[in-house]
Amino acid sequence: MDVRYPIGELQIPDPITLEQVQEWLKDIETFPARLKEAVDGLSGEDLDKTYREGAWTVRQLVHHIADAQLNIYIRMKLALTEDNPSIPAFDENVWAVLPDAGLPVEASLKIIEGLNARIAAYARTLTEEQLHQTYRHQINGNTTVAAELAKCHWHEEHHLAHIQIALSR
Protein backbone atom coordinates (compact mmCIF):
# COMPACT_ATOMS: atom_id res chain seq x y z
CA MET A 1 0.00 0.00 0.00
CA ASP A 2 1.21 3.50 -0.85
CA VAL A 3 0.71 5.47 2.40
CA ARG A 4 0.45 8.69 0.41
CA TYR A 5 -2.85 7.33 -0.98
CA PRO A 6 -4.09 4.82 1.60
CA ILE A 7 -7.58 4.64 0.06
CA GLY A 8 -6.31 5.07 -3.49
CA GLU A 9 -5.98 8.19 -5.60
CA LEU A 10 -9.01 10.35 -6.26
CA GLN A 11 -11.23 8.83 -8.94
CA ILE A 12 -14.18 10.99 -9.97
CA PRO A 13 -16.92 8.90 -11.57
CA ASP A 14 -18.41 10.10 -14.83
CA PRO A 15 -21.29 10.57 -14.69
CA ILE A 16 -22.03 11.22 -11.02
CA THR A 17 -25.55 10.37 -9.98
CA LEU A 18 -27.75 11.75 -7.24
CA GLU A 19 -27.68 8.26 -5.70
CA GLN A 20 -23.87 8.38 -5.45
CA VAL A 21 -24.08 11.81 -3.82
CA GLN A 22 -26.54 10.47 -1.25
CA GLU A 23 -24.14 7.62 -0.42
CA TRP A 24 -21.21 10.04 -0.03
CA LEU A 25 -23.31 12.25 2.21
CA LYS A 26 -23.75 9.40 4.69
CA ASP A 27 -19.97 9.37 5.18
CA ILE A 28 -19.70 13.17 5.13
CA GLU A 29 -22.32 13.41 7.88
CA THR A 30 -20.59 10.85 10.11
CA PHE A 31 -17.08 12.07 9.39
CA PRO A 32 -16.86 14.66 12.19
CA ALA A 33 -17.71 12.03 14.83
CA ARG A 34 -15.31 9.51 13.32
CA LEU A 35 -12.51 12.09 13.19
CA LYS A 36 -13.19 13.21 16.75
CA GLU A 37 -13.10 9.61 17.94
CA ALA A 38 -9.72 9.13 16.23
CA VAL A 39 -8.09 12.18 17.84
CA ASP A 40 -10.02 12.58 21.10
CA GLY A 41 -7.75 12.74 24.12
CA LEU A 42 -4.51 12.40 22.20
CA SER A 43 -1.34 13.67 23.81
CA GLY A 44 0.77 16.37 22.21
CA GLU A 45 3.23 13.64 21.28
CA ASP A 46 0.53 11.69 19.46
CA LEU A 47 -0.70 14.83 17.67
CA ASP A 48 2.85 15.37 16.45
CA LYS A 49 3.05 11.92 14.80
CA THR A 50 3.16 11.63 11.01
CA TYR A 51 2.04 8.86 8.69
CA ARG A 52 5.34 9.02 6.77
CA GLU A 53 8.63 10.88 6.89
CA GLY A 54 8.21 14.56 6.02
CA ALA A 55 4.39 14.44 6.09
CA TRP A 56 2.06 16.68 8.04
CA THR A 57 1.43 15.84 11.67
CA VAL A 58 -1.92 14.58 12.93
CA ARG A 59 -2.54 18.09 14.29
CA GLN A 60 -1.77 19.69 10.91
CA LEU A 61 -3.98 17.14 9.15
CA VAL A 62 -6.97 17.99 11.34
CA HIS A 63 -6.48 21.72 10.73
CA HIS A 64 -5.94 21.07 7.00
CA ILE A 65 -9.21 19.15 6.79
CA ALA A 66 -11.00 22.18 8.29
CA ASP A 67 -9.26 24.53 5.84
CA ALA A 68 -10.14 22.32 2.88
CA GLN A 69 -13.76 21.84 3.98
CA LEU A 70 -14.12 25.61 4.27
CA ASN A 71 -12.87 26.02 0.71
CA ILE A 72 -15.07 23.17 -0.57
CA TYR A 73 -18.11 24.70 1.12
CA ILE A 74 -17.47 28.12 -0.42
CA ARG A 75 -16.74 26.69 -3.89
CA MET A 76 -20.00 24.75 -3.97
CA LYS A 77 -22.08 27.60 -2.58
CA LEU A 78 -20.67 29.97 -5.18
CA ALA A 79 -21.23 27.44 -7.97
CA LEU A 80 -24.85 27.07 -6.85
CA THR A 81 -25.51 30.80 -6.59
CA GLU A 82 -23.46 32.38 -9.38
CA ASP A 83 -22.82 31.69 -13.05
CA ASN A 84 -19.49 29.79 -13.24
CA PRO A 85 -17.67 31.97 -10.70
CA SER A 86 -13.89 32.20 -10.66
CA ILE A 87 -12.37 30.66 -7.52
CA PRO A 88 -8.78 31.24 -6.38
CA ALA A 89 -6.60 28.34 -5.31
CA PHE A 90 -5.26 28.16 -1.76
CA ASP A 91 -1.73 27.02 -0.98
CA GLU A 92 -2.43 24.27 1.53
CA ASN A 93 1.26 23.93 2.43
CA VAL A 94 1.45 27.59 3.44
CA TRP A 95 -1.85 27.38 5.31
CA ALA A 96 -0.56 24.29 7.19
CA VAL A 97 2.24 26.26 8.86
CA LEU A 98 0.38 29.45 9.80
CA PRO A 99 0.10 30.02 13.57
CA ASP A 100 -3.51 28.76 13.77
CA ALA A 101 -2.25 25.30 12.73
CA GLY A 102 -0.77 25.05 16.22
CA LEU A 103 -4.10 25.50 17.99
CA PRO A 104 -5.73 22.61 19.80
CA VAL A 105 -7.49 20.35 17.29
CA GLU A 106 -10.85 20.98 18.98
CA ALA A 107 -11.08 24.34 17.19
CA SER A 108 -10.96 22.63 13.80
CA LEU A 109 -13.18 19.73 14.90
CA LYS A 110 -15.92 22.28 15.60
CA ILE A 111 -15.44 23.89 12.17
CA ILE A 112 -15.58 20.50 10.43
CA GLU A 113 -18.72 19.52 12.32
CA GLY A 114 -20.51 22.70 11.31
CA LEU A 115 -19.34 22.73 7.71
CA ASN A 116 -20.20 19.09 7.12
CA ALA A 117 -23.69 19.63 8.53
CA ARG A 118 -24.18 22.59 6.21
CA ILE A 119 -22.73 20.82 3.16
CA ALA A 120 -25.02 17.85 3.78
CA ALA A 121 -28.05 20.11 4.30
CA TYR A 122 -27.85 21.68 0.86
CA ALA A 123 -26.35 18.67 -0.92
CA ARG A 124 -29.31 16.48 0.12
CA THR A 125 -31.61 18.78 -1.87
CA LEU A 126 -29.55 19.05 -5.06
CA THR A 127 -31.24 18.49 -8.37
CA GLU A 128 -29.65 16.79 -11.35
CA GLU A 129 -29.23 20.23 -12.93
CA GLN A 130 -27.50 21.64 -9.84
CA LEU A 131 -25.01 18.75 -9.84
CA HIS A 132 -23.75 20.09 -13.18
CA GLN A 133 -23.35 23.73 -12.12
CA THR A 134 -19.74 24.80 -12.26
CA TYR A 135 -17.10 27.06 -10.88
CA ARG A 136 -13.83 27.97 -12.60
CA HIS A 137 -10.82 27.09 -10.46
CA GLN A 138 -7.76 29.28 -10.93
CA ILE A 139 -5.56 26.23 -11.62
CA ASN A 140 -7.84 23.27 -12.39
CA GLY A 141 -10.39 24.94 -14.67
CA ASN A 142 -14.12 24.20 -14.61
CA THR A 143 -15.36 21.87 -11.88
CA THR A 144 -18.92 20.73 -11.25
CA VAL A 145 -20.71 20.66 -7.91
CA ALA A 146 -20.90 16.87 -8.32
CA ALA A 147 -17.12 16.57 -8.80
CA GLU A 148 -16.52 18.82 -5.79
CA LEU A 149 -18.72 16.55 -3.66
CA ALA A 150 -16.72 13.54 -4.87
CA LYS A 151 -13.51 15.34 -3.86
CA CYS A 152 -15.03 16.32 -0.51
CA HIS A 153 -15.88 12.70 0.29
CA TRP A 154 -12.54 11.31 -0.88
CA HIS A 155 -10.50 14.03 0.82
CA GLU A 156 -11.96 13.40 4.25
CA GLU A 157 -11.59 9.62 4.05
CA HIS A 158 -8.07 10.01 2.61
CA HIS A 159 -6.85 12.11 5.53
CA LEU A 160 -8.67 10.08 8.18
CA ALA A 161 -6.71 7.09 6.87
CA HIS A 162 -3.49 9.14 7.16
CA ILE A 163 -4.34 9.93 10.78
CA GLN A 164 -5.07 6.28 11.55
CA ILE A 165 -1.75 5.24 10.00
CA ALA A 166 0.16 7.87 11.97
CA LEU A 167 -1.44 6.80 15.24
CA SER A 168 -0.70 3.13 14.58
CA ARG A 169 3.04 3.81 14.27
Per-residue pLDDT tens over the stretch 17-56: 999 999 999 999 999 999 999 999 999 999 999 999 999 9
E strand spans, the chain: 86-87, 134-137, 141-144
Per-residue pLDDT tens over the stretch 85-129: 999 999 999 999 999 999 999 999 999 999 999 999 999 999 999
Torsion sign, CA atoms 31, 131, 69, 14 = positive
Q: For the chain, what are the domain ranges?
A: 18-168
* Total-model pTM: 0.96
Q: CB neighbours of 112 closer than 8 A, spacing ≥ 6?
A: 31, 32, 35, 62, 65, 66, 69
pLDDT for res 1 = 80
Instruction: Provide the 3-class DSSP secondary structure of residue 57.
Output: strand
CATH architecture for the domain at 18-168: Up-down Bundle (1.20)
What is the four-CA torsion angle of 33, 36, 40, 42, rounded to 10 degrees?
Answer: 150
